[in-house]
Amino acid sequence: MRATAADEFCIKYVLGVLCGRRRILLDTASPPAKPTTPCRQLCILRMVGLAFSGPAPGLFACGFHLWVLLERRKSPRFRSGILSISVATNLGLLGAFKYFDFFSISFQRCLVAMGVDVSLPVLDIVLPVGISFYTFQTLSYTIDVYRGKLRATDQLLEFMLFVSFFPQLVAGPIERASHLLPQILRRRKVTWQMVATGSQLALVGFFKKIVIADGLAGSVNFVYGSGQVSGLSVVLATYAFAFQIYCDFSGYTDIARGISRMMGFDICENFRLPYFATNPSEFWQRWHISLSTWLRDYLYIPLGGNRGGRFATPRNLALTMLIGGLWHGASIHFVAWGAYQGFLLMVFRMFSRDSSTIADRVPRRGPLFWVKVVAYFQLTCYGWLIFRAKGMTTVRDLTLSILDIGNYRWEAIGLANCYKLCILVVPLVVFQVYQYYKNEMEPWSRWPMLMQAIFYFVLFYLIVLFGAPQQSAFIYFQF
């Protein structure tokens, strides 16, 4: 039986409390905290990480001694060889589990189209949970050790905990070893303030997932699964999916960050009001920040970045986003989504003289700014149409429905999506405007105690009363 989002949250919440503190003092004061003894907590976290992930992360730790040698040996040739072996092993495991069948079937179809009748093997194996995330984590560790930016740890069990850290294991954020591993190795202090704010953040994430994301899921699934709907219904369903995937993914991130904070860990922020972006470069500084910075540091910049001439930058952007799309899934529509995002970035770079600071030059307030936000949101939503569709045939059909103005008519499913957007999304957008002008992602933590109590009371009962009756797994679990 698949665990629902509620089950995941409850399990993680209880484990967070058990691993964070054995006793929570119900007062507003922050008592002096002594460093926690890490041995018992780390043992619990290792076991929980294996329970959530299975043995797969252990395969990615098989090169542990290679990383130690990578730091100790100074010969450039030897170090390059170790790096090549480690990267090939990680990508080979990811490719075998996730992409072998995709490329085998695609190659077979190409041969059949050329008149060659051949049957190629497929593995048809179960994809390990979170494999894309912890593969990138181990790759970043390898490359940072090779570059001399990080010292290789000689603590195998602690390193395995870094790879299989359960709050962010299955859907990120993609943590860097330089950020998370030192927190695992050192003694931590867990205060009442950390437990309180962690619980608050997890509750907000749970609300995003259960009430908003799951509330929008049913109508979105119907439109994208039927193919017999009007253009207006497709537009409204695409808007709904934009907020479904945002609340689903950022909700998981909030839960992961909240649970981690309750245990004394700080994991990176992954979303910062992405739909307030006015251009593609800014969007990727606000959406899935851990992935976009990973692609920038370990792929785009090594390819040459924005160096090398007028045509090198678009090429590097295109390759980076194509790989970013393929990272999301072994399907042609994910590659197309990556190509679309790369195209937007290339056009933006070609028409902006100083792309590194253009977002700072755009007025961040006033009617013109909000017009730009709404305009770029339309481009983002078409990308989500490509992302959500089950194949390029569906992308073509839905696109034609949108372009057929004569096919715009009100339908029951369109009315349902319009109603849900008004009830679920409009209050979220209003609150995010408040966050934007406050420049604070957790503004509730600074409210007076009475306002905080009312806010959490309302959130709790909204979850109980209006949580979607049919909950779905987190979208990014499949990646």
What single string gives the DSSP state of each residue in 95-163? IIIIIHHHHHHHHHHHHHHTT----------PPPTTHHHHHHHHHHHHHHHHHTSSPPP--HHHHHHHH
* Domain match, 164 and 84 both: yes
Domain-located, residue 103: yes
Contact 249, 474 (CB under 8 A): yes
In Å, how far are 205, 309, 311 from 304, measured between CA atoms?
A: 38, 10, 11
Residue 231 covered by a domain: yes
Question: Would residue 106 count as lying in a domain?
Answer: yes
Please check whether residues 158 and 74 belong to one and the same domain.
yes
> Which two structure tokens, joined as six digits, stand for 5?
């989002």
> Side chain identity at 336, as an amino acid letter?
A
Residue 323: its pLDDT value, please? 92
Q: What is the tally of helices (H) and strands (E) in the chain? A: 23, 0
Closest CA to 352 of 408, 282, 299, 301: 282
Within a domain: residue 141? yes
What amino acid is encoded at 469 in this protein?
A: P
Contact 326, 334 (CB under 8 A): yes
CA distance 456 to 448: 13
Within-domain flag for 137: yes
The answer to whether 223 and 233 are in contact (CB under 8 A) is: yes
Catalytic option among 179, 288, 328, 333? 328
Contact 382, 337 (CB under 8 A): no
| Whole-angstrom distance, CA of residue 447 vs CA of residue 457 | 14
Q: Could you tell me the CA-to-CA distances from 341 to 88, 185, 321 in Å, in that order?
A: 27, 38, 6
pLDDT at 203: 92
| Cα 456 to chain centroid, rounded | 25
Choose the final residue of a domain: 185, 201, 227: 185
Q: What is d(CA 245, CA 162) in angstroms, rounded to the nearest whole number?
A: 27
Judge whether 198 lies within some domain: no
Residue type, 11: I
Along the 479 residues of the chain, how does pLDDT read in single tens digits? 444 554 544 445 444 444 444 333 333 333 434 444 455 566 666 666 555 555 555 555 556 667 777 777 777 888 888 888 888 888 888 888 887 777 787 777 787 778 777 777 777 777 777 788 888 888 888 888 888 888 888 777 778 788 878 888 777 789 888 888 888 888 878 888 888 889 999 999 999 999 999 988 888 888 888 767 788 889 999 999 999 999 999 999 999 999 999 988 998 999 999 999 999 999 999 999 999 999 999 999 998 888 766 778 888 999 999 999 988 887 889 999 999 999 999 999 887 755 444 444 555 777 889 999 999 999 999 999 999 998 888 999 899 989 888 777 777 666 777 888 888 899 999 999 999 998 889 999 888 989 988 888 898 888 888 876 666 777 776 66
Cα–Cα distances in Å, from 132 out to 92, 161, 225?
Answer: 12, 17, 26
> Among residues 235, 241, 242, 226, which one has the least CA distance to residue 403?
235
Verify that 374 and 465 share a domain, yes or no.
yes
Cis peptide before 121 (omega within 30 of 0): no
Same domain, 96 and 170: yes
| Residue 65: active-site member | no
- Which two structure tokens, joined as six digits, stand for 241? 């999916």
Q: Are residues 216 and 271 in the same domain?
A: yes
Same-domain pairing of 262 and 389? yes
Is 468 part of any domain? Answer: yes
Six-digit token string for 179? 């950020």
Asked if 124 and 257 sit in the same domain, the reply is: no
Cα 143 to Cα 86: distance, rounded to the nearest angstrom = 9
Pair 250, 178 in one domain: no
Residue 399 lies in a domain: yes
Verify that 240 and 373 share a domain, yes or no: yes
Residue 199, CB-side half-sphere exposure with 13 Å CA sphere: 15
Residues 154 and 219 in one domain: no
Q: Tell me, what's the pLDDT at 426?
A: 92
Residue 447, φ and ψ in degrees, nearest 5 = -75, 160
Residue 385 belongs to what domain range? 210-278+362-478
Q: Which of 185, 219, 248 is the last residue of a domain?
A: 185
Residue of 451, 382, 432 whose CA lies nearest to 212: 432
pLDDT at 478: 67
DSSP state of 279: S
pTM more than 0.75 = yes
| Owner of token pair 């060659």 | 116
Q: Are residues 220 and 109 in the same domain?
A: no
Of 272, 235, 244, 270, the residue nearest 256 (C-alpha)? 270
Q: How far is CA 273 from CA 65, 68, 325, 438, in A?
A: 41, 40, 21, 12
Nearest of 242, 313, 235, 322 to residue 283 by alpha carbon = 242
**pLDDT for the residue 113:** 76
> Is there a single domain that holds both residue 268 and residue 366?
yes
- For 108, the token pair is 């077979």
> Which tokens is 151 given?
């010292």
Helix axis angle for 192-207 and 449-466, nearest 10°, is 40
Domain count along the chain = 2
